[in-house]
Structure 1
Amino acid sequence: MDAVEKANAERQRKWVKDQKIGEGTYAVVYRGRELSTGRKIAIKKIKVGQFKDGLDMSAIREVKYLRELKHQNVIELLDVFSSKTNLNLVLEFLDTDLELVIKDRSLVFLPSDIKAWMAMTFRGLEFCHRNWILHRDLKPNNLLIAADGQLKLADFGLARDFADPGYKMTCQVITRWYRPPELLFGCRYYSTAVDIWSVGCIFAELMLRTPYLPGESDMDQLKTIFRALGTPTEEDWPGHTKLPDYVPLGQFPKTPLRDLFTAASADCLNLLNKCLVYDPKKRISAKEALNHPYFFALPYPSHPSKLPKPVKKESHIIIEEVEGNVDFSGPGPGVKANPPNKLKRKLSDDESEGKRSIARRLDFGQRGSS
């Protein structure tokens, strides 16, 4: 046994698989524990043999970016080891997700609760963006929640770096209901604004308790967006008619957000509107969002430990993390918040590797509970 095999075997012995709790097309997830401490962990076993060209790119991405991102609002990758022909990711164990919280009608959300979830989402995303990483699949079931209430960004299988602004990227990313209009129109050069649009859709979903923009196809997704926010003009969004997949889809009037979000504060609606601006260049950044008056006005964000959580089987979230983009029935209240399309996990034009230095972790302390 050479040094590499020996080191791998030593890492493998640190972790114990206790129970299989989920299986997707390309991975099996186990609940486990650390042998020395008994700490709960999750082991995500990637089925390497499933791929003709070796290891799936999503597994490489997940390992690459999670090894670089250490932040309280990003899921922690504890270890990686190989076993036979499989790659095993050891992740911190997180027992629920934001989608389950939203769909549990026994839970009552206070404005301070929504503010806390949004603050933690923006903190995690700001850290990713500050370190030149796009998530590219933000949605409620990729926002996991720890036992102490901390929300963490997870599933980095579609993430990539964006250090080179002239590099062509795929537009086939981000689950449809959370995908911004520029990607639906085939834009291949984009940046952090695509993640911000997704966060805006999640923000709206937290207030509505149902997906905000549930399109049934890519074209219907655009129509759904335009019906909600009005058809963009060249003044609103210069150059959008020149995008590769642009097609005119009719004229829809702009409906004020206040008509739908009747209970929201003025600051809340202002931030939501800044996330859902058509022109990506004018969309708010995660850093700017964290300094928005919404987060500094009463009521202050709830403390994470005080946030509502569903009582459920702990296995569900892990299954969701594996399944990622599963087919579900059509949209509507109480329906799974995933559109009926699968994203391609292997992205041929997205494989540039770049060196990034990881900036030190910011401490956005909680401002108090209500």
Structure 2
Amino acid sequence: MNLADQENAAARARWVKETKIGEGTYANVYRGYDVKTGQKIAIKKIKAGAFKDGIDISAIREIKFLRELSHPNVIALLGTYSKAQSLSLVLEYLDTDLEAVIKDKTLVFKPGDVKSWMAMSLRGLDFCHSRGVLHRDLKPNNLLISSKGELKIADFGLARETGDVDSRMTCQVVTRWYRPPELLWGSRSYSYGIDMWSIGTIFIELVLRKPFLPGDSDMDQLKKIITVLGTPTEEEWPGHKLLPDYVNIGEESRGQRWTPWIMSVGKVGVELIKEMLRYDPLKRISAKSALYHQFFLDDPRPTAPIKLPKPTAELVPRAMAPDETEGKPELKTAGGGVKRKAESPDPFGDVKKVARRLF
């Protein structure tokens, strides 16, 4: 047995699988523990035999980036090992995710709580961006939360390094509700602004306690964006009509008065959201600049993570589950099989209404 085989055998002996907590076409997720420390872990077991050309590219990406990204607000990859025709990723176990927190209407959010979740998200994202990594799928169920209330960015299966200005990347990234207009109009050249748009929509979702722009299709998503923010002009977004898939959505809109819905974050908070949701991706605020925004300096101060509201029951974080459906957010429960699929509520309706349907 060579050294690599010895190390692989030692890893298999150290990380013990227990209960299956998620199942998909290409991977299963298990709760387990570390024999050395007794620490609870999550094991994502990817079936190499299920792929015609070997291991899924998303697994390779996830391993690559998590090995490079070590930060308190990014999920930790503890190890990897192989057995037969499968590859397993060993991840730190996190109790729940931000989507579950948002949907739990028994929890009451204070302004400091929203500020704390946003600060942790931006710290993790700033670290990724400073290392040249685009996440490309930020959404509440990819923001996991530990037992101590710490928020960590997870699921780097769609992440990639930024290229040069002329590099061409796929526009079929970011779950639809959190996808920026440049991707909806087919841009193949983009940068950190796509993640900042996603963070902006998550910010509003924390306030509304429901998705901000829940489109049924890419065209419907664009219509919802334009209905709320108004039709982009050439002055505020130069060259947007030259994007590959640009189509005129219809009658020009000056946008709805949406800011009163989110005034609980104060005038300065609304200003930060507007900086995140600028049409021109080159003019969107960066994660680093957002962290120095007056919003985080004013009272109330961000709530300490350990004091943040959290569901009393332990939930399986969706980002630890192996199967994602593009543009159709779902949640698999620990019991397996039960899914929730979001409806498309009127974004101008009563913000207290729950726009969810259980299938």
Q: TM-score, normalised by structure 2?
A: 0.91
Aligned mates of 1:259, 1:307 — CA distance in 2: 25
1:319–1:70 distance in 2 versus 1, CA, 3 Å: closer
Which residue matches 1:295?
Answer: 296
Pair 1:67 & 2:67 matched:
yes
1:148–1:78 distance in 2 versus 1, CA, 3 Å: same
Whether the 8 Å CA contact 2:145–2:151 is kept in 1: the answer is yes
Whether the 8 Å CA contact 1:42–1:93 is kept in 2: the answer is yes
Which residue matches 1:252?
Answer: 253
| Displacement after TM superposition at 1:215 (Å) | 0.4
Say which is worse superposed, 14-23 or 301-310, in terms of deviation. Answer: 14-23
Which residue matches 2:264?
Answer: 263
Aligned mates of 2:165, 2:81 — CA distance in 1: 34
1:202-351 aligned at under 5 Å gives the runs 202-250=202-250, 251-314=252-315, 316-317=316-317, 321-325=321-325, 327=328, 328-332=341-345, 334-335=354-355
1:319–1:195 distance in 2 versus 1, CA, 3 Å: closer
Structure 1 alignment gaps of length 5 or more: 338-370
Aligned mates of 2:6, 2:355 — CA distance in 1: 48
Aligned mates of 2:263, 2:157 — CA distance in 1: 37
Aligned mates of 2:96, 2:154 — CA distance in 1: 12
Whether the 8 Å CA contact 2:184–2:222 is kept in 1: the answer is yes
| Displacement after TM superposition at 1:276 (Å) | 0.3
Whether the 8 Å CA contact 2:98–2:145 is kept in 1: the answer is yes
Aligned mates of 1:233, 1:273 — CA distance in 2: 16
Aligned mates of 2:356, 2:39 — CA distance in 1: 31
Aligned mates of 2:219, 2:26 — CA distance in 1: 29
| Displacement after TM superposition at 1:263 (Å) | 2.7
Q: Provide Cα deviations, 1:107-160, integer angstroms capped at 9, x if missing partner.
A: 000000000000000000000000000000000000000011000000000000
| Displacement after TM superposition at 1:19 (Å) | 1.2
Secondary structure, in 3 states, of the residue corresponding to 2:38? coil
Which residue matches 1:26?
Answer: 26
Whether the 8 Å CA contact 2:111–2:264 is kept in 1: the answer is no
1:271–1:168 distance in 2 versus 1, CA, 3 Å: same
Instruction: Find runs of 4+ consecutive structure 1 residues off by over 6 angstroms.
Output: none
> In the alignment, residue 246 of structure 1 is paired with which amino acid?
Y
> In the alignment, residue 213 of structure 2 is paired with which amino acid?
L
Whether the 8 Å CA contact 1:226–1:252 is kept in 2: the answer is yes
Secondary structure, in 3 states, of the residue corresponding to 1:177? helix
Aligned mates of 1:243, 1:162 — CA distance in 2: 19
| Displacement after TM superposition at 1:235 (Å) | 1.0
Q: How many residues align?
A: 336
Secondary structure, in 3 states, of the residue corresponding to 1:8? helix
Q: Provide Cα deviations, 1:296-331, integer angstroms capped at 9, x if missing partner.
A: 0000000000000012244x2157632333743532
Q: Provide Cα deviations, 1:168-202, integer angstroms capped at 9, x if missing partner.
A: 10000000000000000000000000000000000
1:329–1:306 distance in 2 versus 1, CA, 3 Å: closer
| Displacement after TM superposition at 1:53 (Å) | 1.2
> In the alignment, residue 176 of structure 2 is paired with which amino acid?
R
Which residue matches 2:106?
Answer: 106
Whether the 8 Å CA contact 1:21–1:319 is kept in 2: the answer is no
Secondary structure, in 3 states, of the residue corresponding to 1:79? strand
Secondary structure, in 3 states, of the residue corresponding to 2:79? strand
| Displacement after TM superposition at 1:247 (Å) | 0.3
Aligned mates of 1:216, 1:140 — CA distance in 2: 18
1:260–1:150 distance in 2 versus 1, CA, 3 Å: same
Which residue matches 1:197?
Answer: 197
Aligned mates of 1:45, 1:87 — CA distance in 2: 6
Whether the 8 Å CA contact 1:230–1:252 is kept in 2: the answer is yes
Identity %: 55
1:163–1:244 distance in 2 versus 1, CA, 3 Å: closer
Aligned mates of 1:119, 1:44 — CA distance in 2: 28
Aligned mates of 1:28, 1:308 — CA distance in 2: 29
1:42-81 aligned at under 5 Å gives the runs 42-81=42-81
Which residue matches 1:135?
Answer: 135
Pair 1:117 & 2:117 matched:
yes
Which residue matches 1:356?
Answer: none
Aligned mates of 1:263, 1:192 — CA distance in 2: 27
Aligned mates of 2:356, 2:131 — CA distance in 1: 32
Q: Provide Cα deviations, 1:221-252, integer angstroms capped at 9, x if missing partner.
A: 00000001101011111000000000001211
Say which is worse superposed, 11-20 or 74-83, in terms of deviation. Answer: 11-20
Q: Provide Cα deviations, 1:32-57, integer angstroms capped at 9, x if missing partner.
A: 00001111000000111111111110
Structure 2 alignment gaps of length 5 or more: 329-340, 346-352
Aligned mates of 2:61, 2:155 — CA distance in 1: 10
Whether the 8 Å CA contact 1:115–1:302 is kept in 2: the answer is yes
Whether the 8 Å CA contact 1:210–1:334 is kept in 2: the answer is yes
Aligned mates of 1:335, 1:5 — CA distance in 2: 51
Which residue matches 1:341?
Answer: none
Which residue matches 2:185?
Answer: 185
